[in-house]
Amino acid sequence: MNEYVISARGLSRHHGSGPALVRAVDGVGLDVAAGETVGIVGPSGCGKSTLLHLLGGLDRPDAGEIRLAGRRIDRLTETAAARMRRDRVGFVFQAFHLVDELTAVENVELPALLAGASRRTARRRAAHLLERVGLSGRAGHLPGALSGGQRQRVAVARALVNDPPLLLADEPTGNLDSAAAADVLRLFAALRAEGRTLVVVTHDSRIAGTADRLITMRDGAFVDETVLTGRSGGLGSLSGLA
């Protein structure tokens, strides 16, 4: 039996009604295999971010179903969905979403503490991840004292602290200059190389080029797929192509 980390069927999310109806996501189907990196590209407003929010349980679909590691997640209660996001999904956003009043290491350890880890264990995990992303020397700095690229690397470390099976990234280089984007690009390439499962929404061709598959969206639907490597072995797939 094929095993997918994330799987969606007939996924739809609409806004408004009548002439003002917007089909943000329209009948999308997607399977992402363990260890696969899938890039999602397309023009602004085509539904990429909405799709990512649905896959991560930040929003609920109007139709369709989503399974994470075989478990259906689109019908979870708000409390159960919050727990699922905390434990099973790592998020990286364009705007970083760090807590301004917490240091880098405190931002990274926060999800582990919320998941029930001891302060000692959470701090050890956070320190290890900050070292991995090249920021051990900035552990005690507040976000306001960090560059954009450093803040994004802190956000990636935070996303990994609970070792989630799925990492979702929404325009992770969108707010960065070229040098900082290159640092984040190398980090995502390293995550892919170690077998992390990633779905990345991006306009950055360099980030897109690190994917195993590249999916193009337009008007809420998938319209094209390009296999960039042989790593997926035919396991990951999409449905609902226009």
3-state secondary structure of 66: strand
State how far the Cα of 167 lies from the Cα of 160, in Å rounded to an integer: 8
| Per-residue pLDDT at 19 | 83
Which has the closest alpha carbon to 54: 38, 21, 76? 76
CA distances in angstroms from 178 to 115, 138, 199, listed in the order given: 35, 21, 22
Q: How confident is the model at residue 2, as a pLDDT?
A: 53
| Domain spans in the chain, listed from the N-terminal domain onward | 4-99+163-239
Confidence (pLDDT) at 204: 86
Q: What letter represents residue 201's amino acid?
A: V
Candidates 174, 140, 139, 133; CA nearest to 156 is 133
User: Which residues of the chain, if any, have pLDDT below 70?
Assistant: 1-2, 230-242
Please tell me the predicted confidence (pLDDT) of residue 123: 98
CA 125 from centre of chain: 20
**Encoded amino acid at 108, one letter:** V
Contact 130, 154 (CB under 8 A): yes
pLDDT value of position 20: 82
CATH class of 4-99+163-239: alpha beta
pLDDT at residue 232, as a whole number: 44
Place of tokens 């998938």: 222
